[in-house]
Amino acid sequence: MIRESYLYREIHEQPKILNDLLKQDPGDVERLALALDESGISHIVIAARGTSDNAARYAQYVLGALNGLTVALATPSLFSIYQKPPRFKDALVLGISQSGKSPDIVAVLAEARQQGALTAAITNRPGSHLARQADHVIELHAGEERSVAATKTYTSELAMIAVLSATLTGDDGLLSAVKAVPALVTGALAASEAAAQAALRWRDMDRCVVIGRGFNYATSFELALKLKELTYIVAEPYSSADFRHGPLAMIQRGFPVILAYLLCNQRPNC
Amino acid sequence: MIRESYLYREIHEQPKILNDLLKQDPGDVERLALALDESGISHIVIAARGTSDNAARYAQYVLGALNGLTVALATPSLFSIYQKPPRFKDALVLGISQSGKSPDIVAVLAEARQQGALTAAITNRPGSHLARQADHVIELHAGEERSVAATKTYTSELAMIAVLSATLTGDDGLLSAVKAVPALVTGALAASEAAAQAALRWRDMDRCVVIGRGFNYATSFELALKLKELTYIVAEPYSSADFRHGPLAMIQRGFPVILAYLLCNQRPNC
């Protein structure tokens, strides 16, 4: 039954969509990277909601660690409630939205454009309101996403952020590493049955925490969001550093904790 | 019994501490405001953990809405895990920490200073490692905080952020409004018994969400953190906008929701 759902189909479309996306002409990303380089911009403000906001969290770490950029997540309420937008002087303002329709995200880009700031959009809809406010549009080419829970557009957003980061470094090794991702996603999907088996143990859980850090801080947020949207359990994301700094108190034996970590070179946290 | 706890005492010290703090010579804040004005800085990066990170969230909105500044919350993992600090060019880097001891927060300030960026600290310990890395030190004068759950230092941090914002605007009306806060805190504490009565209804709750937005987005985070630290329940903070964007699905009849809202002039969200 689950195999017939849009969600299941879209999850399994990811390797092909990522592969096709990474074979596209990278001209749009290269032009944005060039504009960033030439302007000497070192601050990025990202406007996004929900799943795309988690892609923004990934951007915060990857563009920080690999490109030395400081990345602020925009506070759309400054626009929608207080009508007091900040000054975007010397910043790139980047909107991330699958649909490109979210009015408060569009409002941030429109304000940035009016202030003369450099603007860009990462979206699945190049003809959207958001795209029309952007100097640079990076299209996701993910096809229509019919499930309410975003999957293939999330991983496509991450891929394009990684490509932007690698392009800015000029490091071909990084770009090759990104291009190896679709095959790794295929490998991860092959573990679906094992994951389903493991999930049986926890099918009655009504709350959990999800811990990640660094590049996988975004993963912990996105995993928690998916659990909430799809299973209605209370799942709260944390960085391991913040978790130790207080909330650890709420954990007792048997409390479900999900770790969103990548182990590489025998070192955690990388 | 509860009346004898450090926590209870420190909560009730707040009106006096805030009142004394707001009567201090504001020279330190004025010098920081002047340095910001003269440098033309429009980006602030704040490094903080736990409760102080929630004060940073407040700063994000108040310095954005009233002073047009973009505020990024620092990602200390970039320093502690990846050893790849971003460039702080043209930014004020502000550390907020009661103790001024947290090594990763100190590391952010030290890096900023080495890069030649303007640095500042808001701390209860002017002799701390953090303060020593800061060009400008704003002291909280809150006395020793013995409870593990921060209360008086949190509200003191908020007060100094509000004073900084008001000083930057040069609007005496705003400064007067901040100075009226200690009396309002006294009024709020007078509702303690009523709050204790209301809490009885929920003493068996094991999870809840806390919703706030704009200036009170920080309040929702801090309220959720206090519930987790002190009662071990799973309390998750949300902006109302993000909450509608997915997680709303997990709510059903009887699910506890706490609203951290201020109603003013008959308008919510302000």
The reported pLDDT for the residue numbered A256 is 87
Same domain, B223 and B147: no
Q: Which of A69, A250, A269 sits opposite B232 (nearest CB)?
A: A250
B138 and B231 share a domain? no
Cβ neighbours of B61 (radius 10 Å): 24
pLDDT tens, position by position, A195-225: 899 889 888 888 889 999 889 999 999 999 9
Closest listed residue to residue B104, CA positions, set B83, B120, B125 = B83
Question: Where a domain ends, among B146, B162, B185?
Answer: B185
Is residue A63 in a domain? yes
Instruction: Please state, in angstroms and rounded to a whole number, the distance separating the CA atoms of residues A134 and A143.
Output: 21
pLDDT at B261: 77
A39 near A210, Cβ under 8 Å? no
Tokens of residue A218, six digits = 């975004």
- Residue B238 sits at φ, ψ, to 5 deg, of -150, 150
Residues 215-234 on B with a CB inside 8 Å of A are 217, 225, 228-230, 232-234
Give B77's contacts (C-beta < 8 A, 6+ positions apart).
Answer: A61, A213, A214, A217, A239, A241, A269
The per-residue b/e assignment along B163-199, b for 16 or more CB within 10 angstroms, e otherwise, is: bbbbbbeeeeebbeebbebbeebeeeeeeeeeeeeee
pLDDT, residue B1, reads 45
Q: Does the beta-carbon distance from A64 to B78 stay under 8 Å?
A: yes
Q: What is the pLDDT of residue A241?
A: 79
Q: Residue A53: its chain B contacts at CB < 8 A?
A: 242
Q: What part of B 118-177 touches A (C-beta under 8 Å)?
A: 149
CB A46 within 8 A of CB A96: yes
Q: Is A40 in the same domain as A100?
A: yes
Beta-carbon contacts of residue A253 (< 8 Å; ≥ 6 apart):
none
Residue B39 forms part of a structural domain: yes
- The gap from C-alpha B228 to its chain's centroid, in whole angstroms, comes to 17
The CA distance from B43 to A71, in Å, is 10
Determine, yes or no, domain membership for B265.
Answer: no
Cβ contact B17:B138 at 8 Å: no
Rg (CA), chain B: 19
Is pLDDT of A132 > 90? yes
> Phi and psi of A70, rounded to 5°?
-95, 135
Instruction: Return the residue of B nearest to A58 by Cα.
Output: B75
Range of the domain at A26: 2-185
Instruction: In whole angstroms, give the CA distance from residue A141 to residue A148.
Output: 18
Average pLDDT over residues A130-137: 98
Chain A residues in contact with B249 (beta carbon < 8 A): 228-230, 232
Share of chain A above pLDDT 90, in %: 68
Which runs of E-coded beta strand occur in A110-190?
Answer: 118-123, 136-139
Instruction: Decide if A192 is inside a domain.
Output: no
CB atoms A77 and B213 under 8 Å: yes
- The pTM for the full model equals 0.88
Residue A2 pLDDT exceeds 70 = no
Same domain, residue pair A137 and A169: yes
Q: Coil, helix or strand for B180?
A: coil
Q: Which residues of A touch B53 (CB under 8 A)?
A: 242
* Interface pTM, i.e. ipTM: 0.81
Q: Is residue B153 domain-shared with residue B95, that is, in the same domain?
A: yes
Q: Is the residue at A163 inside a domain?
A: yes
Are residues B146 and B63 part of one domain?
Answer: yes
Instruction: Find out whether B124 and B100 touch, Cβ atoms under 8 Å.
Output: yes
Instruction: Give rounded-to-5 percent helix, strand, coil for chain B.
Output: 55, 15, 30
Residue A76 makes CB contacts below 8 A (sequence gap 6+) with A47, A49, A104, A105, A107, A108, B241
Task: Report yes or no on A191 lying in a domain.
Answer: no
Q: Which of B245, B221, B211 is nearest to A50 (CA)?
A: B245
Same domain for A180 and A108:
yes
**Which of A75, A89, A91 is closest, CB to CB, to B60?**
A75
Domain-located, residue B167 = yes
Asked whether B93 and B117 are in contact (CB, 8 A), the reply is yes
User: From edge to edge, which strands make up the β-sheet containing A234-239?
Assistant: A234-239, A207-212, A257-260
**Dihedral angle at the C-alpha atoms of A5, A10, A12, A18, nearest 10 degrees?**
180
Q: Which of B126, B150, B185 is the last residue of a domain?
A: B185
Range 60-79 of A in CB contact (< 8 A) with B: 60-61, 64-66, 68-73, 75-78
B241 touches chain A (CB under 8 A): yes
Q: A228–B209: do the CB atoms touch at under 8 Å? A: no
Number of domains composing chain B: 2
According to DSSP H, which parts of chain B are helical? 6-23, 27-39, 50-67, 77-80, 103-114, 129-132, 152-169, 172-179, 181-189, 192-200, 217-231, 240-244
**Residue at a domain's end among B121, B151, B185:** B185
Q: Are A7 and A49 within one domain?
A: yes
Q: What is the pLDDT of residue B2?
A: 53
- The letter for the amino acid at A183 is A
Shared domain for B171 and B216, answered yes or no, is no
Confidence of residue A268 (pLDDT cuts 50, 70, 90): very low
Contact A93, A73 (CB under 8 A): no
- The nearest CA of chain B is from the CA of A158 a distance in Å of 18
Interface probe for B, chosen from A43, A79, A147 (most Cβ of B below 10 Å), is A43
For residue A217, list chain B residues with Cβ-Cβ distance below 8 A. 75, 77
Same domain flag for B118 and B209: no
Q: What is the CATH number of the domain that holds A228?
A: 3.40.50.10490
DSSP string, A37-103: HHHT--EEEEE--HHHHHHHHHHHHHHHHHH--EEEEP-THHHHTS--PPP-TTEEEEEEESSS--H
Residues A158 and A78 in one domain: yes
Nearest to B68 among A53, A60, A87 (CB): A87
Report the pLDDT value the prediction gives residue A270, as an integer from 0 to 100: 42
Mean pLDDT, each 10-residue run in order, chain B (270 residues): 80 97 95 96 94 96 94 84 84 97 93 96 98 98 94 98 97 95 96 90 88 92 92 85 76 85 52
* pLDDT in the model for residue B120: 98
- Angle CA A23–A25–A30, to nearest 5: 120
Under 8 Å between Cβ of A149 and A11: no
Q: Is residue A195 in a domain?
A: no
Q: Does residue B217 share a domain with residue B113?
A: no
- Cα gap A69→A44, rounded to integer Å: 7
Give me the helices (H) in B118-180, please.
Answer: 129-132, 152-169, 172-179
Euclidean distance between CA atoms A16 and A182, whole angstroms: 7
What does the pLDDT average to over A90-107? 95
Q: Are A5 and B53 in contact (CB under 8 A)?
A: no
| Residue B224 burial class via C-beta count within 10 angstroms: exposed 0-12, middle 13-18, buried 19 and up | buried
CB of A188 within 8 Å of a chain B CB? The answer is no
